[in-house]
Structure 1
Amino acid sequence: MIGGKFDHRNEICGAAVSVRNGKEKIALWTKNASNEAAQLSIGKQWKEFLDYKDTIGFIFHEDAKKRDRNAENRYTI
């Protein structure tokens, strides 16, 4: 659906958008979060496609599924 424009398109397996109390969250799901080179490449391209200037962070699924709202970013761009 959205992976076609990315260099590491085979790593992308889903996306979600969530709007909560004035805070929007866009999640792009990848197959292998530990592949740092692919994650950073995808993040840089995503920022470029969206013309997004702020920092984006990558949270591993294992960290997020603990339902810890303060899960820390493993990578940032």
Structure 2
Amino acid sequence: MGKIEAGVHSWIHRHPVVTQVTFLIAGQLTIRMQEPNTDTFYDVEVHPGEAVLCQPDTLFQLRNDSEQVATVLYLVSP
């Protein structure tokens, strides 16, 4: 479990082997993603109780553009 402070965003990055599920417990979150073998980024708005799946090699960035702390649960495999 983790917290993303208001106004904070991660670096755009990828996990070459890992599948990551990001489950939002509280707050708001935007996840910017680019699927492998595509040229276009898109944003997914995440609300409490929702999750986003990032497959291996997907470029992604976690963004908290709100004024509240976002509480998240990360599930990764393998």
Tell me the TM-score normalized by structure 1: 0.25
Say which structure, 1 or 2, has more relative contact order (CA 8 Å, 6+ apart): 2
Q: Which is helix-richer, 1 or 2?
A: 1
Give 1 or 2: higher strand fraction: 2
